[in-house]
Structure 1
Amino acid sequence: MILRTELRRSIAPWAGLALLVVALGFLFLLSGPWWKVPAPWTGNTTTTALWLRFLLVFLWPIAVGAGAIQGMRDSRSGMVELLSTTSRPGWHRAIRLAGAVGALSALGFLLVFGVGVAEVLGHGGFVSASFLPVVLVGLLAVVAGSWIGLAAGRLLPHPLTAPALAVLTLVASVLAWTSVEANVLSVPYHRFALLAPALGQPRGVLVTTSAPTDLGQAAWFAGLAATGLLLLAAKSARAKVLGLLPVVAGAAIALPVFPASADGLLVPDSVAARKLCDGPICVSRVHEDRLAALAGPGREALAMLAKLPGAPTRIEEQIAPNPVTGPVPRDPGVVYLDFQRNDALLTANADDLRLAVLSGAGVPSCDPPYVGSLADLGARMIAAAHFTGELKPLPEYAGKWFLVQSGVLEQAWAKFRALPEEVRFGRIVAMRQVLLTCQGDPLDTLVPGALR
């Protein structure tokens, strides 16, 4: 009866509705990074959950602020003294109020995720149970935030408590996000950043949170939630002091467990990134439809590259989390194709797939993501042309870019093709080493002075 009353008369329904409306507003009204490669939010249910965790930068302050508003109710209504004289223990009312506010806040969070799952299904995305740890920790964070807000409102029933607490939570969440967001603002990573629930952008549909991240945050938010509940029900100073023990214990458990570096926050999803192979050609389970298309041209390209010393013998999809500031991983024995960042490969025909394998003589770009230099792109194109006999734009680069730079590259290609065969081969080998080490100018290695 009391719980039903709290559901009707408390701020609980409005808290859940606020989370729902704000989150869906971000996802559907703003283009945002969540619509774009390499991690569209409709590509994988785990990616959807990761984007929702990213949005907790804005949603968590709402949960905390709404809880604080509700926590001040008894004081605003002048009922504190009256309620203290009732025979029913205070924790009875506290647990029902906390249950109502926490449950409907969590429901709002879950409904947003439900919309995301529907979008994934509607767009033919990948569905697996790997999202469970990501969503469950997010739910725990929302409940903990609402309960700690309730306790703060009960203990500090001032009109400025709720807005001040919401603003402070927002500032802390943003600062924490900048620390876990791959040094996007040159803020170094620190374990304390994971005491806020927001995560950085997933930057790929094949990643999920690591076990240390999940376990550490679960311990921390469980302690925070317990402290909020105990402080909400506490009447004596001693009870309030004892109520702080769970949050202290949660931090003591979580901080040593958290990853030591930002590279440990996200790991390949064991389900989505599981390799499916046809001989030496492997793709992820998410992109298994590309395996048949890649098998034929992939083997042809490997046969062409076999003339090189230390030639690659396998083609694999790049499944590691995409770096932000540095080059992607490379291996002399493996040609990596990135179907996430280079979504043109998802619809590429056999000729373009063969060209993608041959580009850079089987070695990916040394440029940071989305920063292409003419020296790197031109060298990789000429390397592919060395094997095919024709200079063509690589599938990851638009034809418009090729037309703008075609004059310079065609001149470099003409100079390179005019060289004796053994010289061309030696320069391809040298350029491949430049791309493997990311030391030197690959185009200048092929055609000295091509850009001067």
Structure 2
Amino acid sequence: MTASAAPGRTASGKPPARTAPRTALRTELRRGIAPWTGLAVAVTLLVPLWSKAAQWQGSWGETQTQLHAAAALLGGPLVAAAACWQGGREHRRRTAELLLSVPRSRLAQVTTAATPIVLWAAAGYLFALAVAFAATAPYTGAGSPSLSVVVTDLGLLLSVGFVGFVAGRLVRWRLTAPVLAVVLYVLLGAPGYMEAKARFLSPGEQYTLWGSVPVWWFAPVLLAWTGGIAATVLLAYAARRRLSAVVPLALAVAAGTVIVHTGADLFRDDPTATRKVCSASEPGVPQLCVKAPDAPALPSVSAALAGMFSRLEGVPGAPVRYVDSGFGPKDGEAALGSATRGWNLTRNKLTDPQAYASNTALTLVSRDCPDGTRTSERKAADRVRFTDDAVRTWLAGDDSTWDPEARPLVARLKAMPDSDRRAWLGRFLATLESCTPAEVPAL
């Protein structure tokens, strides 16, 4: 009488061979276009990101804004085209009829064949994400990246992968893949030009993630929307009971309704972006206050304004604090010049410190007066304008004025004894809120 085989082993005592689906999946993961898809996704995301590094390095929000745009508008069509090409493989090899004799269900066959593409696409996205985060981390201030945006970007790539695969199975035309990529690019990008709330249904909507963060239920709803559509397509094509596609379809419709109803309220203000961070208080040196994400740029800002502060030292009424214009300067404060990443701020360093100092000096001497001036006062108004220009030029240490007629006034200001110049500047600063030319001291 022969002994029965032990559980989990064959009659010969050896473990059973791996199941066919698992073996097929591992084979597909190692060869074919799936690994190349992951590499293509990583390169497609990193090349445009790197070309705009000056705009996002140092800001988690800007980093994810740029990465999301690239993942949706470039990565999405690429993954859909690769999956579509994979889906049409059996038609090109003339083995579609052979699959009908395989004991596995159509749904199992489709998921096994499409999964390597979407997994490698996700790997390519995560690699690009890691590179971008590693590049921006050394320059960031307050805040952190949003996991919700990462999850929704991954959900988009997975969803379009399965939809693209089904399209490849259904349409035998060889140009289906590139045409699908173009169509998907238009479908993802076109809603961004709409004003209606329905534009948020597009996973390619350009989010402004600097200064705002998604609400806590952002990821689940977006995943239900994109994933529901993908599951509907997949089940309608491959499920034995196609009516089961109604369940994910209903879920997608419910999620889409919530998205359209919510609109821009899918995002809320980021409290870290409005938190004020100030430089250390030092005797005789005005304090600088910026938004928390820009705190690492304070040393560069301080160095750019050092000359201006030295010229204002001892001047009666000179500001004791300079703040970001978003905070609204109060008494004894003045607004800082504008510092925008990718424009005049790169990796927390001002690209043109002289221009920044000139811009800050301009905000200090600007007068909020009506544009219209009576003809009889035109000459007096021009004198004030030239005086303001001369003070701005001298404070910023510029080489020349904006208006040639203000140059002699700069020479007079430089020629004044220090005590007389400080007294005159004190009288000048006291009239910055006045629009009456006669009240502004002459040079």
- Normalising by the smaller structure, the TM-score range is 0.5 to 0.7
Q: Corresponding residue for 2:258?
A: 253
- State the distance in 1 between where 2:245 and 2:384 align: 67
Aligned residues: 380
Which one-letter code corresponds to 1:283 in the other structure?
V
- Among 390, 393, 398, the alignment partner of 1:391 is 393
Contact 2:224–2:251 (Cα < 8 Å) also in 1? no
- State the distance in 1 between where 2:168 and 2:124 align: 21
SS of equivalent residue, structure 1 residue 276? strand
- State the distance in 2 between where 1:381 and 1:151 align: 70
Q: Corresponding residue for 1:410?
A: 407
Range with greater deviation from structure 2 (101-110 or 84-93): 84-93
- State the distance in 2 between where 1:229 and 1:147 align: 7
- Among 283, 290, 301, the alignment partner of 2:290 is 283
CA shift in 2, pair 1:70/1:382, >3 Å: farther
Matches within 5 A, 1:50-449: 50-55=65-70, 56-121=72-137, 124-126=138-140, 129-177=144-192, 179=193, 188-200=194-206, 206-211=210-215, 214-215=218-219, 216-231=221-236, 233-235=238-240, 238-239=243-244, 244-259=249-264, 267-268=269-270, 270-271=271-272, 274-277=275-278, 278=280, 281-289=288-296, 291=298, 294=302, 307=317, 315-317=322-324, 330=328, 335-337=334-336, 338-340=338-340, 342-343=344-345, 346=349, 358-361=361-364, 383=388, 391-392=393-394, 394=396, 403=400, 405=402, 407-410=404-407, 428-430=432-434
- For the pair 1:22 / 2:15, whether they are aligned, the reply is no
Identity %: 23
CA shift in 2, pair 1:336/1:102, >3 Å: farther
SS of equivalent residue, structure 1 residue 391? helix
Q: Corresponding residue for 2:13?
A: none
- State the distance in 1 between where 2:101 and 2:140 align: 57
SS of equivalent residue, structure 1 residue 282? strand
Q: Corresponding residue for 2:7?
A: none
TM-score (norm 1): 0.65
Range with greater deviation from structure 2 (45-54 or 336-345): 336-345
SS of equivalent residue, structure 1 residue 86? coil
Range with greater deviation from structure 2 (112-121 or 58-67): 112-121
Which one-letter code corresponds to 1:276 in the other structure?
V
CA shift in 2, pair 1:380/1:199, >3 Å: farther
Contact 2:148–2:214 (Cα < 8 Å) also in 1? no
TM-score (norm 2): 0.66
Contact 1:50–1:134 (Cα < 8 Å) also in 2? no
CA shift in 2, pair 1:286/1:96, >3 Å: same
Contact 1:105–1:142 (Cα < 8 Å) also in 2? yes
Alpha-carbon offset, residue 20 of structure 1 = 1.6
Range with greater deviation from structure 2 (1-10 or 55-64): 1-10
| CA deviations over 1:347-401 (Å, ceiling 9, x no partner) | 59999988765533377999xxxxxxxxxxx999955865xxx733748xxx5xx
- State the distance in 2 between where 1:4 and 1:214 align: 34
Which one-letter code corresponds to 1:407 in the other structure?
P
Contact 1:57–1:174 (Cα < 8 Å) also in 2? yes
Alpha-carbon offset, residue 106 of structure 1 = 0.9
- State the distance in 1 between where 2:267 and 2:64 align: 15
Structure 1: segments with no counterpart, 5+ residues: 180-187, 321-328, 367-377, 434-442, 448-452
Higher Rg: 2
| CA deviations over 1:410-431 (Å, ceiling 9, x no partner) | 36779999xx999956852136
CA shift in 2, pair 1:120/1:290, >3 Å: closer
Which one-letter code corresponds to 1:6 in the other structure?
E
| CA deviations over 1:223-278 (Å, ceiling 9, x no partner) | 23433443453356535565533432331232222216xxx86844x456643235
Contact 1:315–1:336 (Cα < 8 Å) also in 2? yes
